[in-house]
Structure 1
């Protein structure tokens, strides 16, 4: 069965437009509910975290080094360090963890 690519593009455009237009049409008044306002405030952060966390664990050669980088980044962020320092610390943690595991493999400890 052969389908036209233009049908797919049109359908994608309609869905994309609907996702953006429906909230504008549905919420004509100001949202006053504190619960709903706080829910909407945190949705982007939750969505970003749910997409980022699995990538952190799978971006490195070993999930252990990814988890170590995550812990180091959390610690640095908790201590209110700059974003650049947090990112560099996480990269350094991955580098050291990978080198340590390579050394352990070379010495046949793992």
Structure 2
């Protein structure tokens, strides 16, 4: 327990270096289309990797979660608002849980 402050300090330094080094070392514009494309999609891929497992385990029955996810996908591809997609997906999960779980 006495090394907790050391762990926190090391974690803070590593986090700071990860964020600070690209800003100081890379001063010119990135011209590579591949690198630009990669960096453009990193936030979306990270968000998807963090939320997809949570979507599947959000309810007691995975079938209800999958039904809500399917509704959310369909509505989002039809360019509905975020609030509409979220409310409809939650409603589908709620109704599916009412009928799926005895």
TM-score (norm 2): 0.93
Matched, 1:10 2:4: no
The structure whose RCO (Cα within 8 Å, separation 6+) is larger is 2
Deviation at 1:3, TM superposition (A): 3.3
Task: Find the aligned partners of 1:87 and 1:7 in 2 and give their Cα distance.
Answer: 42
Misfit runs of 4+, over 3 Å: none
Larger gyration radius, structure 1 or structure 2: 1
Deviation at 1:8, TM superposition (A): 1.3
Q: Partner of 2:61 in structure 1?
A: 62
- Aligned CA RMSD, in angstroms, stands at 1.1
Equivalent residues of 2:64, 2:100 under 8 A apart: no
Q: Partner of 2:78 in structure 1?
A: 79
The superposition leaves residues 19-46 of structure 1 with CA deviations (integer Å, 9 ceiling, x where unpaired) of: 1012113312110111111110000000
Q: Secondary structure at the match of 1:56?
A: helix
Q: Partner of 2:92 in structure 1?
A: 93
TM-score (norm 1): 0.87
Q: Secondary structure at the match of 2:2?
A: coil
After superposing the two structures, state which structure 1 stretch, 7-16 or 41-50, moved more: 7-16
* Structure 2 alignment gaps of length 5 or more: none
* Structure 1 alignment gaps of length 5 or more: 106-110
